[in-house]
Structure 1
């Protein structure tokens, strides 16, 4: 997979390093000469250019990229890069960094963003995820389909404790994708039982989150 990263600061270089370790091709783009530190990520391609300029993106051959990551420290730049990548070059997947949480509402499909990553929101979500049991925690927002990656740790008193996954009537537009049980990561099957303390990860429509939390957290009244 070929990935272009706009922004060669600490965030962009860190992402590039991870992707290279996983066997991907990476191009780092930055307009600041001081940011071009080839020795820090020598396996990557480097381009000194303004990622907001069509001529620069032509030089980067953005149409050959499977993914573009807008990772600069400027939200305006990240939005412009995302829009150009999607509309001018048809890049299949565009991921954008949100620096100011107040701007998060802009990072959507209209601006070419498939996935918006807000560092402040993500850090807050991870703190909640670490200490919350029985409360739904939103980890990541996907622009397409108004879907979110959400997490809930199943409490002891949950109505679904001991229930097989296949027996649960999940809300519409909701999918259980992973069960984390201790040190194990499980791909859920219909025969797997839900156990107290399980960390459940869902992709769910935002409109279904409250319904999902109620289903998992509240014990039904016994007859």
Structure 2
């Protein structure tokens, strides 16, 4: 686009420019020209590929809009927020393997497994600490905030197990 065309379109008087084409490179160039050549104080760019967001920021485009990022955020918001994730149902017997993240405020933080009253037919089989280090627990193992607990439990005990491992000290 010619500079004279942009001047005729009023680019030199603009307070804000929105670049919303389907091409990230075009949007970046439009914002940079508006900012550097015409001193437009605020530019907003649509980003089609979220991987380009950091490049836009490094090149001075502070405000970006990404439909992909917005959709992902919406999906994350709709996912269940409880800390228990069913990993696998075991054949026969009504058991499943679940993962539970121990919240910072959980009443079980700092407790040995022997002191935690788990539902009948529930077993903690693996603990993965905050650093991602797995360990097979024993009765003296202590649960810490942020631990990911892998447990085997009866389907009907799932809610109770989640409650025991995630309830805060205030609600316990």
In 2, Cα distance between the equivalents of 1:136 and 1:143? 20
Partner SS state of residue 114, structure 2: helix
Which residue of the other structure, out of 144, 152, 155, is the alignment partner of 1:203? Answer: 152
Helix, strand or coil at the partner of 1:144:
coil
Deviation at 1:218, TM superposition (A): 1.1
What is the CA deviation profile of residues 163-190 of structure 1, one whole-angstrom value per residue up to 9, with x for unaligned ones? 1111111101101000011231111011
Partner residue of 2:114 out of 153, 166, 172 = 166
- Give the equivalent residue in structure 2 for 1:149: 97
User: 1:221 Cα shift?
Assistant: 3.6
Q: Where do 5+ consecutive residues of structure 1 fail to align?
A: 1-127
* Superposed CA RMSD: 2.6
Asked if structure 2 preserves the Cα contact closer than 8 Å seen for 1:164 and 1:192, the reply is yes
Report how far residue 191 of structure 1 moved.
1.2
Instruction: Tell me if 1:219 matches 2:168.
Output: yes
Instruction: Calculate the TM-score normalised by the size of structure 2.
Output: 0.50
Q: Give how far 1:132 is off.
A: 7.9
TM-score (structure 1 length as normaliser): 0.39
Which whole-Å CA distance do the structure 2 matches of 1:196 and 1:133 have between them? 17
Maintained 8 Å contact 1:171/1:208: yes
**How do 1:95-110 and structure 2 match up within 5 A?**
none
Aligned match of 2:124: 176
How big is each residue's C-alpha offset from its partner over 1:9-34, in whole Å with a ceiling of 9 and x where there is no partner? xxxxxxxxxxxxxxxxxxxxxxxxxx
Query: Which ranges in structure 2 are unaligned for 5 or more consecutive residues?
Result: 1-75
- Given that 1:134 and 1:216 are in contact with CA atoms closer than 8 Å, whether structure 2 keeps it comes out as no
Aligned length: 95
Distance 2:108 2:127 in 1: 14
What are the equivalent positions in structure 2 for 1:37-52 lying under 5 Å apart?
none
Structure index of larger Rg: 2
SS at structure 1 position matched to 2:142: coil
Displacement over 2 Å in runs of 4+: 131-134, 220-223
198 and 132 in structure 1: CA distance in 2 versus 1, 3 angstrom threshold? farther
Report the alpha carbon displacement of residue 222 of structure 1 after superposing the two structures with TM: 7.8
